[in-house]
Amino acid sequence: MSRRSYRVNSIQEENMNWSQERPRRELRGRRQDSEVSRPWLRYLATLSAFSALAFIATPTEAQMPKYGAGFTLGAGHITELNSGALGLGGGTPVELKPGTGFLFGLHFDSWYGATRRIGVRYQGAYQQPEVDWSNGQRDIDMLTADVSVMFRPVVPEPEQRVIPYLALGLGGVWYDLGRGPQITFDSADAYYDGSSRVMPAGLVGVGVDILLPPSMEWHATPIRIRVEVADHITLNSPFKQISQADRYGEVHHFRLTIGAYSAFSIFGD
């Protein structure tokens, strides 16, 4: 074999060895880079997980909770449904006055601002009063619902035991006396047209939230007792007046309620 041929063969073998060795070196380099970067990836993943956990589980003690949800129980007093009735035939008209009865309600609150002095409440309540009717006692299924703006006169503190508030809202009262033909009650100067109705209503209320001791918290969530006096005012009665052929005027739905609700925040709110 000539020297020139030997030299060519040697160069070819070196090129082959270099081309085979290069991927190995690159693979080793990538492995080393990966091994170096893995602790940083683990650290970043751990830090991100703890940051997310801390954000979600932000303690509510640092500020007043943003939300509240709970129930109320109490008594509701309804004024006359035929105020201003005339005594047909010269007699004294029968008063359609449901009086006082039991009610049950649910509510959800959302408070705004750094001081949590202004809030919006969504609430509904059910009551079943009775009225004297032409054929005896008659049940009225009654639902009230409203959206209220709530205002705390003083800046509340997380550990404050008693927090007063004012409420002003709009909503409606649904009266259901059963569906059927029109029923006339001459002695009460009233008749019912046989259909359920929703009457627009305004709400005025005042109340206090009372913080229970930490030993009575629910899953580390503060529990508050709410006591409220309010009046839902409808502009019209569900009954119509026979003598005037028009619907009776305003009806007051006074209520005294007491309930419990949990105060909480979500995602650090």
What integer is the mean pLDDT of 47-65? 45
What integer is the mean pLDDT of 120-149? 90
Structure tokens at 76: 């509701």
pLDDT score recorded for residue 49: 44
The fold of the 61-264 domain, in CATH, is Porin (2.40.160)
pLDDT score recorded for residue 232: 97
Q: Which range among 44-58, 173-187, 209-223, 227-241 shows the weakest confidence by mean pLDDT?
A: 44-58
pLDDT score recorded for residue 122: 98
Answer whether residue 148 shows pLDDT above 70.
yes
Q: Write the DSSP assignment of 146-200 as a string of letters.
A: EEEEEE-SS---TT-SEEEEEEEEEEEEEEE--SSS-EEEGGGTEEE-S--EEEE
Answer whether residue 33 shows pLDDT above 70.
no
Domain chopping of the chain, boundaries: 1-57, 61-264
Whether this model's pTM surpasses 0.85: no
Task: Report the distance separating Cα 13 and Cα 182, nearest Å.
Answer: 110
Answer whether residue 226 shows pLDDT above 60.
yes
Answer whether residue 115 shows pLDDT above 80.
yes
What integer is the mean pLDDT of 183-209? 89
Answer whether residue 12 shows pLDDT above 60.
no
